[in-house]
């Protein structure tokens, strides 16, 4: 009789196959992944995202409305669209402010050097955003990331990437405290505006 072997951290009963961005897109082209599937490619793995709750959706809509009104033609506001970070990562942040381009990135998805700000709205994903997304964004040189925590009604601002971390971090919790992205200082927002 065979005795089952309990996997240890040194032995894996399986091997993971990492996908490239091209392979990931091919899965969509052949119909394995659908346009409405809530997935993104993170470090070669296809990650299924949680369904979007109403508070999350409202916050993304409010942010989109505010930022679009105030940014004008100084940036492209990209909502839940892909950013190609590397050969194995193409997340879809809730909001990204991109450097303006006449083609609006029609010929290719934006790359790290095109990003001015990434905003991730978290209702159930805050731990994942901290542990996976932030190191990924920092490692690719994204200059600034905001984590908008709809449960605690606060915004965490991360700047100055170094390696896989940000060397500047602060949390905003006062409803009327104004803040703006470093790349667009005229785009001033308050928590009251973001959370309603």
pLDDT in the model for residue 14: 65
Return left, alpha or beta for 16; rule: phi > 0 is left, psi -120 to 50 is alpha, else beta.
beta
117 close to 144: Cβ distance less than 8 angstroms: yes
pLDDT in the model for residue 48: 87
- CATH, domain 52-195, list 3.40.50.700, 3.90.1570.10, 3.90.1150.10, 3.10.350.10: 3.90.1570.10
| pLDDT tens column, 15-34 | 677 888 998 888 888 888 88
How far is 169 from 152, CA to CA, in rounded Å? 17
pTM: 0.87
Percentages (nearest 5) of helix, strand, coil residues in the chain: 25, 30, 45
Question: Which residue would you say has higher pLDDT here, 181 or 14?
Answer: 181
| pLDDT tens column, 76-110 | 999 999 999 999 999 999 999 999 999 999 999 99
| pLDDT tens column, 158-170 | 999 999 999 999 9
* Residues 6+ positions from 170 with CB-CB distance below 8 Å: 156, 157
Q: What mean pLDDT do residues 139-152 have?
A: 97
Mean confidence (pLDDT) of the chain: 90
| Domain residue limits, the chain | 52-195
Whose CA is closest to 191, among 150, 163, 161? 150
How far is 18 from 44, CA to CA, in rounded Å? 4
């Amino acid at each position: 009789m065979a005795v089952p072997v309990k996997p240890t951290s040194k032995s894996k009963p399986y091997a993971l196959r990492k996908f490239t961005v091209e392979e990931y897109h091919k899965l969509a082209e052949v119909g394995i992944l659908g346009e409405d599937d809530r997935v993104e490619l993170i470090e070669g793995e296809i990650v299924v995202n949680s369904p979007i709750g109403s508070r999350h959706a409202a916050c993304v809509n409010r942010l989109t409305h505010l930022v679009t009104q105030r940014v004008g033609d100084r940036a492209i506001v990209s909502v839940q669209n892909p950013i190609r970070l590397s050969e194995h990562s193409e997340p879809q942040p809730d909001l990204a402010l991109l450097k303006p381009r006449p083609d609006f990135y029609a010929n290719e998805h934006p790359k790290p050097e095109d990003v001015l700000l990434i905003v991730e709205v978290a209702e159930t994903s805050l731990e994942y955003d901290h542990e996976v997304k932030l190191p990924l964004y920092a490692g690719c040189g994204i200059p600034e990331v905001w984590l908008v925590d709809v449960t605690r009604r606060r915004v965490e601002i991360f700047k100055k990437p170094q390696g896989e971390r940000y060397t500047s971090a602060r949390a905003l919790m006062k409803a009327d405290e104004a803040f703006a992205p470093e790349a667009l200082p005229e785009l001033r927002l308050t928590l009251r505006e973001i959370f309603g």
